[in-house]
Each structure stands twice: as C-alpha cells, then as structure tokens.
Amino acid sequence: MRQWIGALGAAWLVMAMAASAMAQDMPDHDGEPPVDLPALQDDAEGALFSQMDTPPAAPLFNLREGDTVPVICPFKGDIDYEPGEISCGLVAVRENREAEESRLIQLLYVRLHARGEDEEARREDPVVYLTGGPGVGAAAYVERFVDHEIIQTRDLYILQQRGIGHSGGFCPLFDLEEPALNVGRTLAEQEEFARRRLERCFDRALAEGVDLAAYNTVENARDVRVLREALGFEQWNVWGISYGSHLGQMLTRVDPEGIRALVIDAIVPNDLENLMRIHRWAGRVLDHIVRTCDADPACARTYPDLEARTFAAMAALQENPVTVTVSDTETFPGGEVVMGGQAIAFAPFMMMYEQETYPGLAAVLNALVRAAERRDETVFTALALAAGGMAGGDYSEGMSSAVRCNDGYTWHNAQVIAEDMAEVPALAGLVGTVEGAAADQALCERYGMTLRDRSDYGPVSFDGPALIVNGAWDPITPTDLARQIMPGFANGQYLEVPFAGHGPTRSDECTARVMIAFFDDPAGELDASCVETANMEPAFVTPLTSRLAARALVGWEEDRGGLLALLGWGALSAMVLGLALLVFPIAFMLRRIDRMPAANTGGARAVCVAAAALGAGGMIVLGYAAYVTSEISPILLIAGLAGPARIGAWMVLLGGLAGIAALFLVVGARLSSGKMAFGALAGIVVTSLAAVSLAVFAAMADLTPF
C-alpha cells in the first residue's frame, strides 16, 4: 500500500518545481525531494530569531580543513550491504572560505567499494558522484548505485553536500512544522506560505550560527576538491547528474587539474540561462504525450481529443477547484484539501523522469482529466491523502533554498517567468506567479543572499575529456540546455539518448556502459551504437479503466472497515471457487474408485466447474495485471489495470454467468429426476453462488470489462 501511496503523492501539486527547477536527480520511488506544502510561520518567534546576532563560530574539536574521520554509515540497517562493501567518513571543510573567520563543518561521504569478481579488471581511478537537487541526501544514491555496473570495476565516492542531514543540515523539520497552512487554496497563497516557512528556517539557521551565504555551488565545488585531496587522489573521474551537472561544470573552474574525465548528464547550464522556463518545459512534456498518443491508433481511439480536454480540465479546475474532505488532520488541519489543475499538469511531468514509466503516460493523464471532468472526489481525495505521506525524507529544503538564492536560480526565475507564462498561457497560474517570483527574490536579498558574482557562473571553458549526456525526453533539463553548453568543451562529446528521461547514465544500461567505457579510455573512440536502440518510442498502454486503486487508498485511510469488508467479500468468493476446483476432481476420482454412478445434474456440474475455473482464473489474471501495472509505474494504478486485465475481467463476468446457468440447470435436473445426492447438490449450489458473488464483487469494485 505505502509503495504506491508515495507514487500517487508525486502526482499532485508539483507547483514547487518552479522554485526548485534545477531538476531533482532522484525520482518519487527513488529519493526525489518531496513536493512541499508550505507551513505557517509563528510571527513572534520569527521576529525573535531575526533580531538575534549570529553567535560566534565555535571551533570543531581540533580539526583542520581536510581532516577525515571514519564513521559508521548512518543508513546502516536501512540499506542492505555486507561489511567491506560500503564505508563512510566525515571530512572537515570551512563553511565560508570567502570570510576571514568561518567555522568548520563536517560533511558525510560514502565509499561504495568496487565489488566485481574479476579483481584484475579493477581500476585504481575512482569516480566521485555529484549529487542532485540541490538538497538530496546521499542515502538515496547509495541505495540506487549498489547495483550499478560502475562499481564492478571502480570505487564510487558520494559526498553529501553541506547543509544536508549529517553534513551540517539545518531546518530538518522544514515541511513538518506548522502544518496549519499545508493547504493553501490558491497558488498565490501557497507561494506566500512557502516564504513564511523559509523565513522561519532562515531565522533559525542564523540563530544556530549558519552562514547562509556560504551555501552555493562554488563552495560545494571547493568541498569536492577538499575531499579529493583528503583522500589522496591526484585525479579522479567526475560524474554528475542534474544539479550535479551544474556542480560538475563549477568543478572545472575550481579544480580542473583534479578531473581525469568528466561525465555530466541532465544538464543544468553553469550560467543558468533558460533553465527556469518551467512553463516551456511542462508544455513540451504534454506535447510529447499528445503527439505520441495521436500517432497510435489505439491510444487516439481510446483517449480522443486528449490535448483539448487536458487544457480544458486544467482551466476548469483552476477556476473552480475541487475541495475534498480528509481525516488526516495532522497533515491537513481543518480536514479539507483544495485540488487545482496542478495534478493534471505535473503527474505526467514527474512520470517523464524515468523512461520505464512512459507506457503509462497517456493513461494517467487521461485518468486525471476524466476525474476533473467528472469532479471525481474519490480520485482527488486519493491524491490528497497520498501527498500527505510525502513530507520529510532524505532532502534539505533549507539548504536547497539557500543555494537557489545564492546561485541565482531565484533571480533568473523572477526575470523570465512573465515571458515564460506568455509562451504557454494554458499553463499560466499552475507553476508560479510573477508576483511570487519577485517576492521570493526579495526574501533572498533580505537574508543577505544576494546574487553572487556572475563571473563564477559564466559558460565554462574546459579542455579535458568530457562526455555530455542528455535524455531526449528529459522533462526538466531538456536537450536545449545540453546543446547550449557544448561550445565550452573543446574536448567534449555529446550523447543524446532517444526517448530517455532524466539521467540516463544512471537508469539506462546501455548509456551506463558507454559512460564506463569512456572512463576506461577517455581519449579513445566512443562506441555509442547501442544508444540508438536502447529506448524505443513508447507504446502507450490503454488499461482497463478502474477507480479501484483510488477507492482502496481512500478506504484505507477513511473507511478501513468498509474497504476490508469489500475485499473480504471478493477474497471469500475466490477462495470458495479455488476450493471447488480441488473438491470436484477429488469427488470424481472417488466415484471412479468406488464405481459409483454420477448423479444426474443435467450438466450443472460441468457448468459449475467452468464457472469456478473462470472466476478463480480471472482473479489470478487480474492480480497479474495489477503486478504488470505497478511494474510500469505504481501511479498508473490510478488509471486502471494494464496487461491482460480485460481478459481477467471477462473471465470473472463469464464465470458469474456460468454460475447462474449452473443454478438453472441444477434446478431443472432436480425437478425432472427428483433425486440428487445432498453433497453434489450443495457443492454445485455453493460454487455457483460463489461465482455469481465474485462477478457482483467485480462490478462493485469497478473491475468490469466495459
């Protein structure tokens, strides 16, 4: 249940992506930062913090910058690994190297030891992975990369960036404090709540001695250099995705001599030019889905006029949102959540991160449009409840916000948002407001996080070996941005992966092998021929439409007794049919052994067995279809069941009809002969009724083939 609760939560209100649009590196089911619903600031406490002087920096024991100490990995017990496969440490760094006096902070780093069986193939040149967000913790990457092919031959180091978790994290309860305003009714209100929460975070950070101006990509790059030197490597290979690609470019300025070979993927330009055009990128995502569906006869027939219906549904929800009632008053004080058009726009947006989920794109989009057209409170309640489980996680909103302020993400957003909204007017009002963007930048400046010297953020010029990678369907860092930076890489190669999402070097086996081959021989000829066929154009599925998943989620949270009664009904009916499939053959064999004649049932017994086989078999097929659907994407369950679901639904329905037929036949046989063994009669009647009951359950559970 919880597995797809989180996935459904990513489907609604990704409005915060406008603020953190530098592209999150790890998807919903993969450590992605949660979509934050901003909280209310306690004005009195905020004023108190803002009036306090920053306490003097305290020495960190007797450490000097670059000193390291081994530690037990803080995620031990949460991630499955054997001793010697993963180790952790802390490295001391100065918080602000541009200040005369600055405290030391310690950053967590992780080493994934090379574990390939062929020790002769092991390489001495390690790889450092530059994490994304900014703000995503190391644990999510460790969990993903324990099975990545790169650690077959090389050690992989991951530095948890400053301001995150065990790396001096601040505002750890950022999206959990003051939940009273988790439910802004309008986009402008949500933006205001986000700023109030940031004020609370920044006030508290200053009171705790955090130098907010020190949280930027230049200092992050300097931290990577300190770690390299502390570990004793003259050079290492550098791999960065999303925000990590921005950090990788900054590293070419800060530590070019330490880079043996550079791979950056899902490109965030160092100068941030055009990155913040979120309306443009969101519009492109919808265009990908609509064009692909229109070109597929089955998809176009099943989801007609998808583009027009999508924009009409979003506009209708913005004008008249759906307000749903929930029992989770801990997350949503007041028990109400207002659902606007963001879910329709950004559920497919989030799915576009991973190419494995592409087959479900059109179905999910249509399901949300259909829910809006019908003002289906069940679906929207499910989305709201799922979003309530998205808070917290291995992500630092405080650090991320500081980086956005200092680097200029917020500033750039304020410069382009009006033009960006005008480019895709159908999405205006879903992502952000002009007034909100200006207020965000004013907040940054009020806390001393003014725009850093842009000379650090100009286009890079790097003549070392570099491989620039981008997925052709990347939703948030599209190929335009990768092409933009290519002139700065004199010895760089560009690899565009067809129909790939965000970060194919971590998610696509072919692209990963190309990257590893590049690290093995950066000067050699790159064989990327497999990339052309690694990801084919997605074939959209058209699942059996069903609201069962949404009803189950709502029922689990709101009416667990009713849900369990419904599921118990179906389970009991299926169990009776399964038992009948065992009993009838055994009874047949016993009659043959005893040489007893079979009762004259007028064919009811055979029809009854068929009913049991169809009903029980249909439920097995439906269960398999649910598995197939969740493998594509758990969020696809909100649209229905893919795979052989229609076959299973027909089998259950036909089983019910066969059960009715068997009842008529047994009544006719009883009237004609007047005699029938009680066991045979009872078995046929109970089995037939169970088949009928299962068919009725399927109808009540929205599992009909129509």
As given in the structure block, the two tokens for residue 120 are 């002769």
Q: How many domains does the chain have?
A: 2
Torsion over CA: 222, 224, 229, 234 (sign): negative
3-state secondary structure of 310: helix
DSSP-derived 3-state class of residue 42: coil
Q: Is residue 332 part of a domain?
A: yes
In a domain, 301, yes or no: yes
Conformational region of residue 424, where left means phi above 0, alpha means psi within -120 to 50, and beta covers everything else = beta
DSSP per-residue string spanning 502-517? S-HHHH-HHHHHHHHH
* pLDDT for res 449: 96
Total Cβ atoms within 10 A of residue 242:
29
Q: CB of 134 within 8 A of CB of 406?
A: no
Three-state SS at 475: coil
Whether residue 551 is contained in a domain is answered as yes
DSSP state of 164: B
Structure tokens given for 163: 């301001």
First to last CA, the chain: 26
3-state secondary structure 70-136: EECCCCECCECCCECCEEEEEEEEECCCCCCCCCEEEEEEEEECCCCCCHHHCCCCCEEEECCCCCE
DSSP output for 406-442: HHTHHHHHHHHHHHHHHHSGGGTTTS--HHHHHHHHH
**Model pLDDT, residue 183:** 76
pLDDT of residue 391: 55
What's the sign of the alpha-carbon dihedral 153, 223, 57, 59? positive
Does residue 683 lie within any of the structural domains?
yes
Point out the domain boundary residue: 387, 419, 451: 387
- Residue after which a domain boundary falls, among 387, 406, 431: 387
Residue spans of the chain under pLDDT 70: 1-61, 181, 389-393, 588, 590-592, 594-601, 670-671, 673-677, 679
Please tell me the distance from the alpha carbon of residue 706 to that of residue 688, in angstroms, as a whole number: 23
Q: Across the chain, what does the average pLDDT equal?
A: 87
Any domain includes 150: no
pLDDT in tens, 379-431: 999 888 887 765 556 899 999 999 999 999 999 999 999 999 999 999 988 88
Any idea of the CA torsion for 140, 144, 150, 151, to the nearest 10 degrees? 80
How far apart, in Å, are the Cα atoms of 68 and each of 63, 89, 112, 255, 483? Answer: 9, 7, 17, 20, 39
Rounded to whole angstroms, how far apart are CA atoms 396 and 222? 20
Domain of residue 371, residue span:
280-387
Q: Is residue 566 part of a domain?
A: yes
- Predicted local confidence at residue 480, as pLDDT: 95
Q: Which helix (H) or strand (E) holds 641?
A: strand 640-641
Output the pLDDT for position 36: 33
Domain end marker among 346, 370, 387: 387
Contacts of residue 628, Cβ cutoff 8 Å, sequence gap at least 6: 641, 642, 643, 644
| Residues pairing with 469 in the sheet | 265, 495
**Owner of token pair 């990908």:** 288
Q: What share of the chain is helix, strand, coil (3-state, %, to 5)?
A: 55, 10, 35
Q: Cβ distance 266 to 474 under 8 Å?
A: yes
Give the max Cα distance, the chain: 105
| Residues 266, 511: Cα–Cα separation, whole Å | 13
For the record, the structure tokens of 71 come out as: 């530690």
Q: Is 101 a domain residue? A: no
In a domain, 187, yes or no: no
CA distance linking residue 466 with residue 237, whole number of Å: 10
pLDDT of residue 45: 30
| Cβ–Cβ < 8 Å for 313, 341 | yes
The DSSP bridge pattern shows strands 104-112 and 86-94 to be antiparallel
pLDDT of residue 105: 96
pLDDT value of residue 117: 78
